[in-house]
Structure formats: structure tokens, C-alpha cells
């Protein structure tokens, strides 16, 4: 019987391939850079500027359900390859038009669906190769790619937009992402039947919650509690991420893309560190800590953003810490899904829970744009609302009861 300690165990190759796929799919987090170019080149105004991004978040999340089912049934290679083709098609489509409806279809629907298919097939196979004691670490590592993407995409976008314009840049991205994601997809694989993921004597491996079906998960009250907390944590973070470039421009001018890139380092770091920490002190306490700190950062941001002479370094530090705490959610909730409901239907189970991310991103990023327009460009009300939501989420996290352990 094979195990995770076998010399032929390809778990790390699978994990890093998933990380690479997410590095390509993280184009979503550079929307704040595209938004400025869209306003300048296409003349879109007000609420329209966030709509393709908000729709992409929503479609991404709900596509995760179908993608999760596809991953569970046909495996990660097929699912990730479909994701790469859809993202490429969507980006190439928007490269042909300045139409608002075309961008909703191309970026909102096609790219959103493609990201869902690629993202859903990166984490499950990696988790299956490692023991429960490494769940947080592996989940954090794989999803770190999605958060880390703006580190290279922000300066790359800045370069491409400056030299080729918006439409041609979208074509270049679409072609590159299709090739990269489809190529790395071929390295993804599930363990063979009978595979045992390492020694089973750790306390983490004694968690019951073996192999729940989606129906069983939906009948569990803890699912709805986790869904609500995920909605809050993800939505509040996405409110800020979608507009970081606009906020930073007030004090950093053309160098605002640096804040986007540095925030991405925090985003990726938060996923890995929160994953490791949750393996040590538990998911509930890590989640509560993350949400409470994120709330404090939102309130701290108000005077910093309002100040006309705020030092660029403070803006960058704020973006980094907000990215760190937001990113932690993306490692904690896949781990919680595995803890409570096991791996057999993990793809679809996490896809259903992930709808909270999409609804949160759609509702709260749309709300952020409305509050900013109503406040004549001020972000103060957005931070107040986000901070209040996060304090509520931290309180709700205390209600999470850890999965029952086998004695």
C-alpha cells in the first residue's frame, strides 16, 4: 500500500503545479489597474467600472459547484484544462471590444467560469497526497499562488497597458493564461486507490467527519455558520482589493501599482502562515484572530486614506496587512471543509461553501463602489461598513465547534 512518505510520492509536484495554475488565474486581483484604463479609454463611469469584476467574482464562486463536481468525477486534469481554455477565450473576447455588455460576458462570465474550473482543481488533489496534520500548510501553499499573482501581474499590466493599450494587453494575457494553465493541468493527478497519506497517529488525523456528501453537508447547521463568516471575511477584503490602486493614487501617483503588488505578497503570505497556524492552534481561533485584526485595520485605514499628505509607505503597509488577513480566509475555509466533511466530495462541497466568497465579493464590492460614488470619491464609508461586518464575523467565529475527534 502506497503512502505519503514513498520516494515516488508526487504530492509536492501536484501542490506546486496547483500553485502555478493559481498564479495565472490571479488576474482577478489586478482589476483595479484595468479599471483606470477602462475609464480612460472606454469612458465608463460610476458603478459600471466595478461590474465586470463583481460579476466575475459571483460567476467564479458558483462555477466552483459545477467545477467541483467535474473535478470529483473526471479528475483535476480535465477540469483545469477547461478552466484555462475558458479564461483564455474570455480575455481574447474582451480584447475585441469596448462594449460594456461584451466585457460582462467575457470577463464576468467566461473568465469567471474559467477561474472557477482552474481554482477548484488545484487544491483537492494536493490535499489528498498529504496527511491531515499538513492540511492547513498545503491548502495555504496552493492558494497562495492566486494571492501572489499581482506581484508579477501588476508591473506586467502596467508595462503592457503603457506599450500596447488595453485591448491588446487583454489578448496577450488571454493567450498566455490558456497555454500556462492547460500545460500545468497535465501535472495534476489524484492518488491511486488505497493510498495512505502518511502516519495516522497525529491528533489532526483523528478528526471524524469522514466523507460527507453535499446533501449531508447542507443539512449541517455548521455549514450555514461557515458560509456567513466566509461571506463577511471575503466580501470585506474584496471591497478593498478592487480599489487599492485608486486609493493609492492619491499619494503614490503612477506608482500606485506598487501597492497592488505588495498587497499581493501579504495576501499570499497570509494564506501560508494562517494555514500553518491553524494546524497548530486550530481553525476557529485562527479565523477569529484574522477577522478581528482585519476589522481593526479597516478602522485604522480611515484617517490614513483621508489624509492628503499620507506617506506612501503607510499606504503600502496598510495594503499589505489587509491583504494578509484577507488571504488567510482562502486557506482556512478549504481546511475547514476537509475537517468537517472529508475529501471524497471535497471538490463539490468546497464549491458550495465557496459561493459565500462570490456573493460576498459581488455584494460588498458593488456596495463599495456605490458608497464611493455617493461620498464623492471618499473611501471612508466603505471602511466603516467593512469594519463593522468584520467585527460581527469575529464574534460568529467563536460559535464554531471543532469537529468531533475519535477517542
Domain assignment present for residue 1? The answer is no
Distance CA 190, CA 77 (A): 9
Residue 195 located in a structural domain: no
User: What CATH number corresponds to the domain at position 339?
Assistant: 1.20.1250.20
pLDDT for the residue numbered 393:
94
Q: Tell whether 390 is covered by a domain.
A: yes
Rounded Cα distance, 302 and 168, in Å: 37
**What residue spans of 149-282 are helical by DSSP H?**
150-185, 214-218, 221-241, 244-252, 256-281
Calculate ∠ Cα 7-13-17, nearest 5°: 170
C-alpha cell at 223: 455549514
In a domain, 3, yes or no: no
Residue 197 belongs to some domain of the structure: no
Q: Computed from CA positions of residues 394, 397, 399, 402, in that sequence, does the dihedral angle turn out positive or negative?
A: negative
pTM: 0.79
Q: In a structure prediction context, what are the per-residue pLDDT tens digits for the chain, which is 407 residues long?
A: 445 544 466 889 999 999 999 998 888 777 777 887 888 888 887 767 878 888 888 898 889 889 988 888 888 999 999 999 999 999 999 999 989 999 999 999 999 999 999 998 988 888 888 888 888 888 888 988 888 887 888 889 889 988 999 999 999 999 999 999 999 999 998 888 777 776 544 444 444 446 788 899 999 999 999 999 999 998 888 777 666 655 666 666 666 667 767 777 888 888 899 989 998 999 999 999 999 999 998 888 787 766 666 667 777 777 788 888 888 888 899 989 988 998 888 888 998 999 998 888 778 877 877 887 777 666 778 888 889 999 999 999 999 987 765 43
Q: Radius of gyration (Cα) for the chain, nearest Å?
A: 20
CA–CA separation, 19 vs 290, rounded Å? 23
Tell me if 53 sits within 8 A of 39, measured CB to CB: no
Residue 88, domain member (yes or no):
yes
Residue of 16, 14, 23 whose CA lies nearest to 177? 23
Residue 203 lies in a domain: no
Give the distance, in angstroms, between the CA of residue 120 and the centroid of all CA atoms in the same chain: 11
- Cα–Cα distances (Å) from 161 to 113, 156, 224, in that order, read 25, 8, 42
Q: What total of structural domains would you count in the chain?
A: 1
Domain encompassing residue 362: 12-189+209-397
CA 319 centroid distance within chain: 16
Question: What is the rounded (10 degree) CA torsion for 152, 150, 294, 385?
Answer: 150
Amino acid at each position: 500500500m502506497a503512502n505519503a512518505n514513498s520516494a515516488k510520492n508526487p504530492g509536492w509536484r501536484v501542490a506546486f503545479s496547483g500553485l502555478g495554475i493559481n498564479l495565472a488565474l490571479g488576474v482577478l486581483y489586478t482589476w483595479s489597474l484595468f479599471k483606470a484604463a477602462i475609464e480612460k479609454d472606454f469612458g465608463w463611469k460610476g458603478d459600471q467600472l466595478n461590474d465586470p469584476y463583481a460579476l466575475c467574482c459571483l460567476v467564479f464562486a458558483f462555477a466552483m459547484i459545477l467545477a467541483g463536481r467535474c473535478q470529483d468525477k473526471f479528475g483535476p486534469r480535465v477540469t483545469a484544462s477547461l478552466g484555462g481554455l475558458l479564461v483564455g477565450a474570455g480575455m481574447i473576447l474582451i480584447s475585441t471590444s469596448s462594449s460594456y455588455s461584451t466585457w460582462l460576458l467575457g470577463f464576468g462570465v467566461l473568465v469567471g467560469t474559467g477561474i472557477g474550473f482552474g481554482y477548484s482543481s488545484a487544491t483537492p488533489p494536493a490535499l489528498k497526497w498529504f496527511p491531515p496534520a499538513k492540511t492547513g500548510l498545503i491548502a495555504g501553499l496552493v492558494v497562495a499562488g492566486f494571492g501572489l499573482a499581482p506581484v508579477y501581474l501588476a508591473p506586467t499590466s502596467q508595462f503592457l497597458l503603457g506599450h500596447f493599450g488595453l485591448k491588446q494587453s487583454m489578448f496577450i494575457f488571454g493567450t498566455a493564461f490558456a497555454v500556462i494553465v492547460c500545460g500545468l493541468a497535465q501535472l495534476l493527478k489524484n492518488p491511486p486507490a488505497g493510498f495512505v497519506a502518511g502516519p495516522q497517529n497525529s491528533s489532526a488525523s483523528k478528526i471524524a467527519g469522514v466523507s460527507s456528501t453535499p446533501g449531508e453537508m447542507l443539512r449541517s447547521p455548521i455549514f450555514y455558520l461557515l458560509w456567513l463568516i466566509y461571506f463577511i471575511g471575503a466580501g470585506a477584503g474584496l471591497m478593498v482589493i478592487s480599489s487599492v490602486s485608486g486609493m493609492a493614487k492619491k499619494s503614490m501617483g503612477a506608482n500606485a501599482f506598487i501597492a497592488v503588488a505588495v498587497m499581493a505578497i501579504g495576501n499570499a503570505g497570509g494564506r501560508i502562515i494562517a494555514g500553518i497556524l491553524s494546524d497548530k492552534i486550530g481553525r476557529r481561533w485562527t479565523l477569529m484572530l484574522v477577522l478581528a485584526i482585519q476589522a481593526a485595520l479597516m478602522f485604522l485605514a480611515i484617517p490614513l486614506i483621508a489624509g492628503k499628505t499620507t506617506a506612501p509607505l503607510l499606504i503600502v503597509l496598510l495594503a499589505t496587512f489587509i491583504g494578509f488577513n484577507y488571504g488567510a480566509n482562502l486557506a482556512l475555509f478549504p481546511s475547514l471543509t476537509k475537517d468537517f466533511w472529508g475529501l471524497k466530495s471535497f471538490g463539490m462541497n468546497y464549491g458550495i461553501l465557496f459561493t459565500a466568497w462570490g456573493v460576498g465579493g459581488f455584494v460588498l464590492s458593488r456596495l463599495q463602489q456605490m458608497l464611493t460614488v455617493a461620498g464623492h470619491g471618499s473611501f471612508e464609508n466603505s471602511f466603516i461598513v467593512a469594519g463593522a461586518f468584520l467585527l460581527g464575523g469575529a464574534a460568529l467565529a467563536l460559535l464554531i465547534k471543532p469537529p468531533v475527534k475519535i477517542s
